[in-house]
Structure 1
């Protein structure tokens, strides 16, 4: 096969988004004769999309030099921009800045009729935005967007619009900013934007939706990102930080096992080169999952590692300390986190502070945080934020001796969490609903709420919540259980099936079923999950 044929096949594979085949084709063609500048750009992009970042950097450097040698200053500037983008993503800020300056020296930055001049505005605007100066970043993104529209460059238009949407959110116009971001993703979905920019936009929008508590939006766009990734052969999913956000959504949906797998994959993707800031996000997510599953030593290690990467470890670490019984450390940690929280992080901190100080008996402090959290719901329409505020208000009202008022707020919170497909949060609300019903004397409804919560906790393997579930106490912890029934109950609590229990105790499955029936009757429960909760509550394990 001649070089021209190999090159044609590589270009066709690139257009078909078959990235490994494109990469191999360009590599073979390059060994036969040095590629032209435009093909080096494609080669570099294919290398990036298949995870070969070092190769991509070297290829963009070659493309820049080849464009300059051919007198193509605008194309050289474009290659330098993508090189800067790639290096910034790797955390090599100084090197990225050097390439950006080299691109500007070519003269294209002063040409408003040139799309490359707009691209070269983007890194500076991003730096302003990340430095929490959205007022300075917004006009730069707007200028870049105008150039992209005038030059009919879909990539530049998308990047400029993305930055505008993010800045609007940071400036408090959450609804307006999200509408802008939705519009950008429509252009991505229509295939108007290149793959690299598409992946970047998906990840940035999901992050913004998650950070502003618009979880339904985040879920929809995360699903769209998954389909987009699946449609491209050999694509390395975008890339550590976006995997973290996908893990966060899976955690919300109750798929904790897959969420942990994605968090670990994110760590692998982010480990080369080492030291990338998003490592902290991945480690924090691992800490959250370990905490929820009762793996406290692993959670502590993950939070500490996240902190070494500059990641804020609150409210997760404070909630861990609460579960470990160290309320002083929990209060100190969450107060420090609240004092430094950004506007976007503050709701999570307030919700955790309410939970922690209620556990210490400081109802007045909990009331202040719950009221501040509720006030934030008036600034934007985000169901998850409303659910958090109603949960906090319900918990405080119950502590203040108003179970009827608490129940109304908790039921509204539960509906929101149900609609968002968040089983764990819904179960936590049902525990409080059960306590309200018990306080109102409706023991039957209380028992139903506790049983439902226990079933969800059991399915999620949320052992700390199972242990802390306050099932109405019976007169006798063992309540007439025989020694064999206690053995069976302990086996059930560890998740064993009837067959496994029968094998362990050398009895028939029919005998196990009879024991379970007796246990359910004596404990007045209706499910294995509720029996498990009883065993934890009364320390029968």
Structure 2
């Protein structure tokens, strides 16, 4: 027994697990069962941990230690809820509440009960009550000098603050909780929960600077603990998200596959839905639409909404009606700031592709406001890109360029080559519309190289078609296409003559030829043709 305890003290969870397993729970004291339960949570499965903690609960109860018994009940409730066993989780929460009432006096276990009640409030969508419960738990943690409760409740306060749009306050609270982890103040199970909860909070507002820093810290923490299985799945998910941002898509797919395997090993299949969603998004960008569709279906089967990725898939399949219908549903049902951060970029992309420019414009403004509140470079880049795309689609290529230049700078600073390439392609399209074909070619050539580097074949092919169309539609000549692009950007005949160094009479002749070849009677109809055939 001394050997198992020594392993536990050193943090060698696998050795402690092996030693205590050989002895068996019947020969362990209540305190040893507590430790064994923690070890099983770290290196074993949920199904193994529950009976050990239940035995510890009974041992504490038989010894008359109501405080320790209530603590075990809280741990059981949290673990069961995390694994989707909500009925049992509620039963253990009720049992913990009974014991706290029996204790009578103010105690730290009341703070843990408030923490459990916070999760119930979140499930009911009552963010005000969730915040009140998180504050109550935090006060108890500070009052009784319980480092675990203080850190968990501080992290919870941060997440609730972010959910209610108080991004700066929430991120500061997450920072506070993370300091307590890296300082070594917390028990191992709670440390892992704080790591993962804080990283998820930062990821939700696209604060990838914090995500990268904290994921690296989590990875070091996991590697320093032999045999650790818990939390390694989440670590792989977050590594994959960073790799996707940085254009290392093959590595990202491997990390998500590894994460799924670890979730299965832990007996927690629920989070696999997130890995399926992330995988589907990358496969869609690579052009493997069938495999992406399968991933989105798997995510949906596991309770994860595959939108707006699935709408973008339908768009790639030229199924614009279901794509717009999905976006309409998302925009109508998603009102919280976090959900809006998640759905707005994809929704704007779908609406612009379906010519709903004026519907997309206020969404770009909303995204800009959210990005400003979050202080996120990635969200700011997405907002600037959305503004630029809206102006380009509305025919104001010159108005779109400053936004797109800003977006490209921010994407580059965020080390996101794919998104930077998308922005360069949009810049090239603006320059084409403005008649600056040489500059447009340089931008689009660079974009195509980046698309090929990350494996985004559909976008690389689209860029190639703009750089060297296999044949000009409608029998148009190259000069007529230049004139048509400027007409589509709203230029008058005198302005076109100035930009192309032609006489107004020559411009009028080109325009007459364009109308005749395209069988249209107005500049508006000619511009519509240009957009429909990818000339702008």
**Shorter-chain-normalised TM-score: which range?**
0.7 to 0.9
Residue 3 of structure 1 is matched in structure 2 by none
Residue 422 of structure 1 is matched in structure 2 by 416
Greater alpha carbon shift after TM alignment, 453-462 vs 341-350: 341-350
Correspondence list, 1:477-516, <5 A: none
Greater alpha carbon shift after TM alignment, 86-95 vs 462-471: 462-471
- Is 1:376 the counterpart of 2:375? The answer is no
- Is 1:270 the counterpart of 2:263? The answer is yes
Q: What are structure 1's unaligned runs of at least 5 residues?
A: 1-6, 479-536
Q: CA deviation at 1:236?
A: 1.2
Correspondence list, 1:79-478, <5 A: 79-107=72-100, 111=104, 113-238=106-231, 240-241=233-234, 243-271=236-264, 276-341=269-334, 342-469=336-463, 471-474=465-468
Per-residue CA deviations over 1:379-415 (Å, capped at 9, x if unaligned) read 3322222111100111111222322321211111111
Aligned mates of 1:80, 1:475 — CA distance in 2: 68
Indicate if the aligned counterparts of 1:410 and 1:433 stay in contact, CA closer than 8 A: yes
Greater alpha carbon shift after TM alignment, 86-95 vs 263-272: 263-272
TM (normalized to structure 2)?
Answer: 0.83
Q: CA deviation at 1:109?
A: 7.0
Indicate if the aligned counterparts of 1:292 and 1:462 stay in contact, CA closer than 8 A: yes
Q: CA deviation at 1:144?
A: 1.4
Q: Kindly tell me: are residues 216 and 109 of structure 1, through their superposed partners in 2, closer, same or farther at Cα, counting changes over 3 Å? A: farther
Indicate if the aligned counterparts of 2:445 and 2:467 stay in contact, CA closer than 8 A: no
Aligned mates of 1:368, 1:88 — CA distance in 2: 39
Q: CA deviation at 1:319?
A: 0.5
Q: CA deviation at 1:199?
A: 1.0
Indicate if the aligned counterparts of 1:394 and 1:406 stay in contact, CA closer than 8 A: yes
Aligned mates of 2:31, 2:41 — CA distance in 1: 16
Residue 66 of structure 1 is matched in structure 2 by 59
Aligned mates of 1:275, 1:227 — CA distance in 2: 23
TM (normalized to structure 1)?
Answer: 0.82
Q: CA deviation at 1:269?
A: 3.5
Indicate if the aligned counterparts of 1:358 and 1:366 stay in contact, CA closer than 8 A: yes
Residue 511 of structure 1 is matched in structure 2 by none
Per-residue CA deviations over 1:316-350 (Å, capped at 9, x if unaligned) read 00111111111122111111121112321223433
Indicate if the aligned counterparts of 2:57 and 2:73 stay in contact, CA closer than 8 A: yes
Q: CA deviation at 1:272?
A: 6.4
Q: Kindly tell me: are residues 131 and 260 of structure 1, through their superposed partners in 2, closer, same or farther at Cα, counting changes over 3 Å? A: farther
Per-residue CA deviations over 1:49-90 (Å, capped at 9, x if unaligned) read 013222211111111111111111111111121121211111
Aligned mates of 1:246, 1:323 — CA distance in 2: 28
Q: CA deviation at 1:288?
A: 0.9
- Is 1:46 the counterpart of 2:39? The answer is yes
Cα RMSD over matched residues?
A: 2.4
Q: Which of the two has greater helix per residue? A: 2
Aligned mates of 1:286, 1:18 — CA distance in 2: 34
Residue 23 of structure 1 is matched in structure 2 by 17
Per-residue CA deviations over 1:166-224 (Å, capped at 9, x if unaligned) read 12222221111110110110010000011111111111111111112222222221222
Specify the SS of the correspondent of 2:366.
helix
Specify the SS of the correspondent of 2:125.
coil
Specify the SS of the correspondent of 1:426.
helix
Aligned mates of 1:400, 1:109 — CA distance in 2: 68
Residue 496 of structure 1 is matched in structure 2 by none
Q: CA deviation at 1:46?
A: 0.8
Indicate if the aligned counterparts of 2:45 and 2:266 stay in contact, CA closer than 8 A: no
Q: Kindly tell me: are residues 64 and 378 of structure 1, through their superposed partners in 2, closer, same or farther at Cα, counting changes over 3 Å? A: same
